[in-house]
Structure 1
Amino acid sequence: MTAACLMNTYKSMPLSFVRGEGAQLWDDTGRQYLDAVAGVAVTNVGHSHPQIVAAITEQAGLLLHTSNHYRIDWQQQLAARLTQLAGLDQAFFNNSGAEANETALKLARLYGWAKGIEQPLVLVMDNAFHGRTLGTLSASDNGAARLGYQPMSGEFIKVPFGDMGAIKQAAAIYGERIVAVMLEPVQGEGGVAVPPPGYLKAVRAHCTQNAWLMILDEIQTGIGRTGRWFAYQHDGIVPDVVTLAKALGNGIPIGACLATTAVARLFTPGSHGSTFGGNPMACRVGCTVLDIIEREGLLNNAAGQGERLLTLLRDALAGHPNVVQVRGMGLMVGIELKAPVRDLCLMVAQEYGVLINVTRGQTIRLLPPLIIDDGDVERIVAAMLGVLGGTGRD
């Protein structure tokens, strides 16, 4: 009955979870589920990890909040660790991925302003998703999410994802007005779209050649999801700006924008801020998440189990009449269907006890915690094969 008091922004399934441990969740009837979506790429180290529980408990009894008018030691520690891992120099903390992306877009605007460009443009990608604020919606390409919020900002030029020729064509048309390219290394909401080999390197080279900023949205891909700390590390490049959120707090809200010194120094006192961003609790949990991933070897596990999951799914679904492609990187896997299956997420949960997600209407998105083992992978594959039916083989 109390659901009537909530604004109607989510189409929630009739499931309510009361407890989690590792990769498992339990609903209010006591039934157990394998969480193969991890709160949409959030609980990378699993639910109720003892080290995170201990950090939250202790910090709650010490200090939750002061303000950024004072030095916050945990914030400085997390900034130092993230910038070292990313190959960048400075960090700004906020509370979500959308806020992190707004920070990056502000930096792009300041970058253009410093160059004397009155109407700077940022190249973004078809099928991208960067958040639900008005600014990040303008940079995104999701018709349903944008409906009713028009007009969108005209500061963005959209080009096809993975098409280097389109970027060069836009450069020829808009010239010096372009100040940055913003993209996801793997498009999550866009259907787990993986770019062609060499694409990110080519974008990096083109940005350097044209003095553009390369901004990478690693909200979904960052913090180990693809088997590296950051997805761009597979290509041996370093962007100018990177945004993070989701897995950095394992459920505690936190976002981060990392940048080179040359870009970060565009901010000055008073030019940006966040009341709750970088608070002691969130930053301590962020440091704890990094500790766990390092100590438990979860980057290697994500890479190994991700490859195993892809291989088993491709073999099991080869020739399936309703499967277009199985693709992914690390533990970020998409199964694109020719036609949507109605109530698929609820069906998989009810019949197989596995939680999944569907994005862009007909791509099954699998984002299990980085801690999954062989048995979990086999259970996911069995659920997918079961719910999608036979492969059409003899």
Structure 2
Amino acid sequence: MSFPSSENISTKGPVKYGELIVLGCGGDKERGRSRFALCRRSKANGVKPSTVHASCTPQAAKAVSNKEQHSISYTLSRAQTVVVEYSHDGGVDMFQVGRSTESPIDFVVTDAPPADGQSAQSTISRFACRVVCQREPPHAARIYAAGFDSSRNIFLGEKAAKWRTADGQMDGLTTNGVLVMNPRHGFGQGSRPGPWREVSVCGNVFTLRETRSSPQRGQMVEPESNELADGSLVDLCGATLLWRTAEGLAHAPTAKHLEALRRELNAGRPQCPVGLNTLAFPSMRRRDVVDERQPWAYLRCGHVHGYHGWGGRRDPEVAAACPERECPMCRTRGPYKPLWLGCEAGFYVDAEPPTHAFAPCGHVCSEKTAAYWGRVPLPHGTHAFHAACPFCVEPLGAGAGCVRLIFQSPLD
């Protein structure tokens, strides 16, 4: 992820609407920054639908060719295109998200590198979606599929799902769709995942299509809106983003709090029950570099150890690749992995101590945070869903998907 400079964002203490955080890339410097703050712009850049033009009219052609005029073109057939002009809306700010690095995109999002290292064609749209925020309180944020390109146009081709609404307007869906999940009971200790929905170009809400690119849209869910709530997930078919409101972030743990929890955990001087050496979670800056004091755990039973090769049969790199081992404390077989503190504070639903680890990746967080993400089915591919660790998006193992860690205190 990279961040082109967002024009019109005031530098004099701007009002912050919220942040978008990419799952699986929290703090990963190799992939670039993974969060984007949406702040009140010095000048509103929002737009709203205005005039609808039938195909082949001079007005329609002018709207599409005018680079100062926002428009959406709906191609119904080779001979028929409907063009909807958009006019300025001074009450809202618009932010665009997508794979393109062109200037209209405020937040550039790319696919996470595949585990096998093989490059694959991205399924994230170049102009994937747009988030529109009210400039005045309560600063409601709404999401719409598709974004305007450098010519300020959105084109929905013949194959895209599209239709005329009851009031004579046009609407449609993008090729792979923009999915949204709003949590129930807020984003906190009592949170529960809600159903996944698809949002249209005009912000209407639908049940999911049979597959991501099916030409047949789902059923419209009229009681629901496209307004994002604290903890809403936005899936772009290749990357999933978490929306945190400014108010939600104000009550969320901070990076400093996570660092304090790490220091407190290390101050307890947990020991390896085999080697009796003191263990310590590495600093946030040294994450992903295994050192000799690194805690390891058997992720089926939760017993925490230091690394041991049992006669030198395996070194840490081999152990990480072939993690099935037998715990010497209880003889349970399962993944044997180094433990890492989950360092993206925005993913936590509470500020409690890190006591649980996701399996099989070994990321550590609070019990309620692990329980919540273990219940969230994240989109995978064109029609599958599975729970995954929010810190690395590795699919969780069968069963609970997380384990309570059992530390051994020092004997002295």
Which protein has the bigger strand share? 2
TM-score, normalised with respect to structure 2: 0.26
Which protein has the bigger helix share? 1
- The structure having more radius of gyration, on CA atoms, is 2
Task: Give the number of the structure with larger relative contact order, counting CA–CA contacts within 8 Å between residues 6 or more apart.
Answer: 1
